[in-house]
């Protein structure tokens, strides 16, 4: 059985020539059979890619030849089916969209906390612990005691932080805050934002939830549930082993065990979470795409029905 290596990595670093990096990266990925997405912006790079292990390592070595990316860190996971079906290198204003000008994680991010020290930090009863991910991610799993902002996209977080009661005490003293996200990138921006707003004690989980699940033993873990990931694995648990959630091929939302048994579930067409939000005509179109994909007929838009959700 063929194994596919997935590598996730990002770095906030000044890349004024980011547009010129697109073509060489596409060529490198094509040469080494790499699929996935690389986001490039002046503020840095953000990516999840997969392919044969030698090819993934060749891409990482290629990136690290750039002195600005020489210390690029990555996380690895294995799967027995390809997590991605095509390769995209996209030029963006931000490598993770928050929409607040003047925020520089390179210079303003909060204090990193290693996974081995995270549990100790969470024992502080005065700590405000915030899950910076979207609502559908938090639904799958989170840390005990974490606040769920109930946002649809990361761009909604700044307004939530501005209004969050837990961050604005009657005394005016700003509380001690810890934040976490899937791989760490959203936390670097959100902690930088809090520091820009005058919060002094701001912490975030180094390497994100994925590094915590990879390195902290289940018997010592404070994590509850699974962690949503933005590829065909859908969710992972401790040891980064594939979880029990499946993916709705229509809305790309995670489905817990049993939800596929709902009368509202139809493969590639609808699930309990999206059935009410699509018209009969849209369901008919999705049904036809699913039929074409299953039978492999010419003109089938097969990848549209299985396209993984992009990380915000």
Are the C-beta atoms of 309 and 230 separated by less than 8 Å?
yes
For the question of residue 271 being annotated catalytic, the response is: no
Higher model confidence: residue 304 or residue 245? 245
Say which residue the tokens 């209004």 belong to.
163
What fold, for 4-91?
A: Alpha-Beta Plaits (3.30.70)
241 pLDDT band, cuts 50/70/90, is confident
311 pLDDT band, cuts 50/70/90, is low
pLDDT of residue 46: 95
Averaged pLDDT, 22-40? 97
* Residue among 28, 29, 181, 248 flagged as catalytic: 181
Higher model confidence: residue 296 or residue 136? 136
The ranges assigned to domains in the chain are: 4-91, 105-224, 247-306
234 pLDDT band, cuts 50/70/90, is confident
Predicted confidence (pLDDT) at residue 15 exceeds the cutoff of 80: yes
What architecture is the 105-224 domain classified under in CATH?
A: 3-Layer(aba) Sandwich (3.40)
Averaged pLDDT, 199-205? 96
pLDDT of residue 115: 97
Predicted confidence (pLDDT) at residue 299 exceeds the cutoff of 80: no
pLDDT tens-digit map of 246-276: 878 788 788 888 788 889 898 888 988 888 8
Higher model confidence: residue 34 or residue 253? 34
Q: How many H helices and E strands in the chain?
A: 10, 15
Predicted confidence (pLDDT) at residue 306 exceeds the cutoff of 70: no
Containing 181, the helix (H) or strand (E) segment is none
Cα dist. 211→36, 76, 101 in Å? 20, 10, 29
Predicted confidence (pLDDT) at residue 310 exceeds the cutoff of 60: no
Higher model confidence: residue 307 or residue 120? 120
Cα dist. 25→12, 37, 39 in Å? 18, 11, 11
Question: Going along the chain, which residue ranges are E strands?
Answer: 4-12, 35-41, 44-51, 74-79, 87-91, 111-113, 128-131, 141-143, 177-180, 202-205, 223-225, 227-228, 235-236, 246-247, 254-255
4 pLDDT band, cuts 50/70/90, is very high
pLDDT of residue 312: 52
- 8-17, 142-151, 210-219, 254-263: the lowest-pLDDT one: 254-263
Predicted confidence (pLDDT) at residue 108 exceeds the cutoff of 70: yes
- 51-65, 152-166, 248-262: the lowest-pLDDT one: 248-262
pLDDT of residue 133: 96
Please determine whether the domains at 4-91 and 105-224 fall in the same fold group of CATH. no
> What is the Rg, in whole angstroms, of the alpha carbon atoms belonging to the chain?
20
Percent of the chain with pLDDT over 90: 62
Predicted confidence (pLDDT) at residue 180 exceeds the cutoff of 50: yes
């Amino acid at each position: 059985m063929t194994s596919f290596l997935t590598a996730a990595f990002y770095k906030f670093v000044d890349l004024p020539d980011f547009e010129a990096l697109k073509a060489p990266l596409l060529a490198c990925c094509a040469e080494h059979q790499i699929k996935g997405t690389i986001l490039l912006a002046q503020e840095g790079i953000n990516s999840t890619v997969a392919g044969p292990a030698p090819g993934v390592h060749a891409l990482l070595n290629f990136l690290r030849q750039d002195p600005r990316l020489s210390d690029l860190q990555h996380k690895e996971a294995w799967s027995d089916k390809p997590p991605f079906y095509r390769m995209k290198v996209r030029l963006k204003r931000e490598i993770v969209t928050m929409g607040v000008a003047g925020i520089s994680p390179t210079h303003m991010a909060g204090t990193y906390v290693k996974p081995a020290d995270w549990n100790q930090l969470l024992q502080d009863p005065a700590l405000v612990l915030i899950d910076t991910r979207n609502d559908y991610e938090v639904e799958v799993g989170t840390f005990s005691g974490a606040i769920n902002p109930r946002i649809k996209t990361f761009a909604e977080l700044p307004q939530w932080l501005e209004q969050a009661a837990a961050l604005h005490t009657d005394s005016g003293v700003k509380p001690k805050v810890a934040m976490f996200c899937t791989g760490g990138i959203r936390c670097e921006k959100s902690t930088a934002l809090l520091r820009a707003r005058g919060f002094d004690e701001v912490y975030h989980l180094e390497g994100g939830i994925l590094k915590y699940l990879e390195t902290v033993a289940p018997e010592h873990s404070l994590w509850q549930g699974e962690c949503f990931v933005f590829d065909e694995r859908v969710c992972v648990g401790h040891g980064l082993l594939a979880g029990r959630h499946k993916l709705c091929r229509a809305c790309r939302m995670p489905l817990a065990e049993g939800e596929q048994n709902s009368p509202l579930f139809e493969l590639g067409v609808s699930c309990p979470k999206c059935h009410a939000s699509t018209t009969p005509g849209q369901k008919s179109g999705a049904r036809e795409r699913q039929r074409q994909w299953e039978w492999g007929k010419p003109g089938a838009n097969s990848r549209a029905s299985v396209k993984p959700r992009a990380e915000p």
